[in-house]
Structure 1
């Protein structure tokens, strides 16, 4: 009744409609130097730099807790020195753009829990002085970290 073969044209093959050309492999040229420097990953891209600010905030919260438990909040200058040391430590590891934020976080914990003890922030003379001290501590820490990085970069063989 019906023929076994179909009377129509076969379907086109799947894939590109135009003929493909073979790929030409480029081999490095011997004797010529590349003008581009080799790609190097910066050594300052570490997890410590990314986590310095959150760990600094946790450190400030733990420092406030320890000061409140030991009664150290009565000695505001000593507590400010501890917060300045914490800010320097955070600034040594943090990215330079985040150093003012780290100093501000330290100041907020110091001002809210050590000076005013009810988590209230104010901007009177002692508050401004402590903010200035913590900002200067952050700048000192960031400057020391930049100097260390510059010395390491200068001493590396090229």
Structure 2
């Protein structure tokens, strides 16, 4: 009579990390804190500088998150930027500057996700 095998707990795939799972919510919190700081300091009038800061935030969060969530990261950053910095009344608009900022943030997200994917591919290749 064979002994029953103990069941193993469900394990997450080896490429999933806590940082990857929490990057999107933490990025949204970071964007909210950034908007709050900008509102308190009055720095939201320098839209080019603020877009650069949001681009860096998007790039960093996209590098940490799972690749499938990269467009969502860029969209969340854009909603905070467009709604609170450009339009100042929590409304999203699609004027030329709004579309341009969306494109910039999407490209930043793709660059961050692409760099992270390249690093993972190099690590996988060097581990073999």
TM-score when normalising by structure 1: 0.73
Please identify the structure whose Cα radius of gyration is greater. Answer: 1
Q: Residue 72 in 1 paired to residue 43 in 2?
A: yes
**What is the correspondence of 1:45-84 to structure 2 with a 5 Å cutoff?**
45-84=16-55
In structure 1, runs of 5+ residues without a counterpart are: 1-21, 25-40
Quote the offset at 1:42 in angstroms: 4.3
Q: Deviation string for 1:94-130 (max 9, x for gaps)?
A: 0111000000000000000000111011000000000
Higher helix share: 2
Alignment of 1:33-44 (within 5 A): 42-44=13-15
Q: How many equivalent pairs are there? A: 121
Q: Find the counterpart in structure 2 of residue 99 from structure 1.
A: 70
Q: What pairs up with 1:8-157 in 2 under 5 angstroms?
A: 22-23=1-2, 42-156=13-127
Stretches of structure 2 lacking an aligned partner (at least 5 in a row): 4-11
- Following the alignment from structure 1 to structure 2, what is the Cα–Cα distance between the partners of residues 141 and 53? 13
**What is the distance in 2 between the residues matched to 1:98 and 1:117?**
27
**Pairwise CA RMSD of aligned residues?**
1.6
Q: Which has the higher contact order (CA 8 A, sep 6+)?
A: 2
Tell me the TM-score normalised to structure 2 length: 0.89
Q: CA deviation at 1:45?
A: 1.2
